[in-house]
Structure 1
Amino acid sequence: MALHGTLMGMYEAMLAELGPSRWWPGETPFEIAIGAILTQNTNWKNVEKALDNLKDAGVLEAEALHALPVPRLAELIRPAGYYNVKAKRIHNFLQFLKDEAEFDLLSLKVRELSELRPQVLAINGIGPETGDCILLYALDFPTFVVDAYTARLMGRHGLAWEDIDYHGLQSIFMDALPEDVALYNEYHALIVRVGANWCRKKAGLCESCPLQPFLEQ
């Protein structure tokens, strides 16, 4: 109960300072899913350039993208970096979408999360963070996304131990917070924004951070 109060207090402090994030950027759930793969190890500006290339080529829909030769896909997504690797990962995801849903991403929403999540994470190149981004932001499943920003913030606040793994960190939030897609969506987005602006890797700007009152004394 105490952890629930702390986490909700942190959420409310971030939201009051930053306002709604309106995540995830994307015009369609499919674009959101592809963006989640493209954003691995790069910044969002580079992802936007890659998505714009796919739009300009008229292939930002599942069947067209699946039909595109992988080398051509890699060329189009070059701005996102690691383009050969990401092209293969996107193709793996599209093959899954073809096999499981006949390219209809939204048809997956009728599945149980407990069934679908292991299937998504079994796709070669789709790790827990990317998979959960697709499940939460594209398909509205209640799964909390954690990342390096989350680990750093929670560690500095004494709420997570060093070297905690993905699922251990995720369970801190999912065990303490209500199962709420909108809350999970906004909470992760706010953590990323705080991490980028205040809770930086080398030196946190703690004094001006909206979460400063929650630091251990």
Structure 2
Amino acid sequence: MQPAYQLIYDKLFEHYGPQSWWPAETPFEMMIGSILVQNTNWRNVDKALIKLGPYFEPEIIDHFPIEDLAQLIRSSGFYNIKAKRIKAFMEWFRQYDYDTKRIKAINNTELRKALINIHGIGKETADVMLVYAFEKPIFVVDAYARRIFYRLGYNMPTSYDGFRKLVEKELPEELTLYNEFHALLVEHAKQFCRSKPICKECPLLDICDQRLELK
């Protein structure tokens, strides 16, 4: 019998195809983008990334005055808070000479713990960095994943890691799968499984209980 979570992935991949995520030119841009996208949409992040463009080197961002950094990322919202989070991340990144290759050599558990210990880096942000910057196979739990899995009929754990581990227990430890799965769930939430779902022609309709969010 085909694992349930694998079936979700297969149906989404068949419908949408490869997503080629994360939308960034470099791992460093990806990591900064993952901080900027907290509590906002990608359009606002894109504007901030364009403003940052002329300064997009780790050493420059690390030594950039925090007040000036905040103004450059203003479009992302909560810009003063996010500037502090970027600075905290840069302090950690500097310890490895801004070298993602060195960081990739750290085992998954240790690296995840280190990222979560950085001010302003929660579990979701840490996990997207792990997948898209450091090439570690891990399932990213976000609001879209919770919405889709609930509507499909799965009573997933309320805790972040409980949800994540339950999915990972069933899926093979393949980076490409986790890379695509998160991107596919985001795309599906935007196209069909919106806050007001569009169930007609949904690629998951035949396996969906069509449950609405709990009030």
Shorter chain as denominator, the TM-score bin is over 0.9
8 Å CA contact 1:151–1:160 kept in 2: the answer is no
2:20 equivalent in structure 1: 22
Alignment deviations for residues 126-179 of structure 1 (CA, whole Å, 9 cap, x no partner): 001101111110110111111000001111112234x71211111121111001
Residue 105 of structure 1: how far off its partner (Å): 2.7
Who is 1:33 aligned against? 31
Quote the offset at 1:106 in angstroms. Answer: 2.7
Identify the match of residue 199 of structure 2 among 201, 206, 209: 206
Aligned residue in 2 for 1:112:
107
Q: Residue 127 of structure 1 corresponds to which residue in structure 2?
A: 122
Instruction: Identify the residue that residue 213 of structure 2 maps to in structure 1.
Output: none
Aligned counterpart, 1:91: 87
Deviates more, 1:58-67 or 1:117-126: 58-67
Matches for 1:1-217 after TM superposition, within 5 Å: 5-55=3-53, 58-99=54-95, 101-161=96-156, 164-201=158-195, 203-216=196-209
Q: Distance in 1 between matches of 2:198 and 2:179?
A: 25
Residues 77-119 of structure 1: CA distance to partner in whole angstroms, max 9, x if unpaired? 11111111110000000001112x0222331001111111101
1:144 and 1:27 mapped to 2: Cα distance? 22
Quote the Cα distance in structure 2 between the aligned partners of 1:121 and 1:43. 22
Distance across 2 between alignment mates of 1:106 and 1:42 = 29
Separation in 1, partners of 2:101, 2:124? 20
| CA RMSD, Structure 1 to Structure 2 (Å) | 1.4
Shift of 1:59: 1.6
TM-score normalised by length of structure 2:
0.93
How far is 1:207 from its partner? 2.8
Which runs of 5 or more residues in structure 2 are unaligned? 211-215
Give the drift of 1:67.
0.3
Q: CA deviation at 1:16?
A: 1.5
Equivalent residue letter for 1:29: P
State the shift of 1:208 in Å: 2.2
Give the share of equivalent positions with the same residue, in percent.
42
Q: What is the CA–CA distance in structure 2 between the aligned matches of 1:131 and 1:164, rounded to whole Å?
A: 19
Structure with greater helix percent: 1
For structure 1, the 5+ residue unaligned runs are none
Counterpart Cα distance in 2 of 1:61 and 1:183: 30
TM-score (norm. length: structure 1): 0.92
- Post-superposition offset of 1:61: 1.5
> Residues of 2 paired with 1:61 and 1:144: CA distance?
29
- Once residues 170 and 71 of structure 1 are traced to their aligned partners in structure 2, the CA distance between those partners, rounded to angstroms, is 36
Aligned pairs, number:
210
CA contact (8 A) 1:142 1:180 kept: yes
Please give the per-residue CA displacement for 1:15-64, whole angstroms capped at 9, x wherever unaligned: 12111111000011100111111111111111111111111xx3212111
Distance 2:199 2:46 in 1: 31
Letter in 1 for 2:74: R
Question: Once superposed, which parts of structure 1, at least 4 consecutive aligned residues long, lie more than 6 Å away?
Answer: none
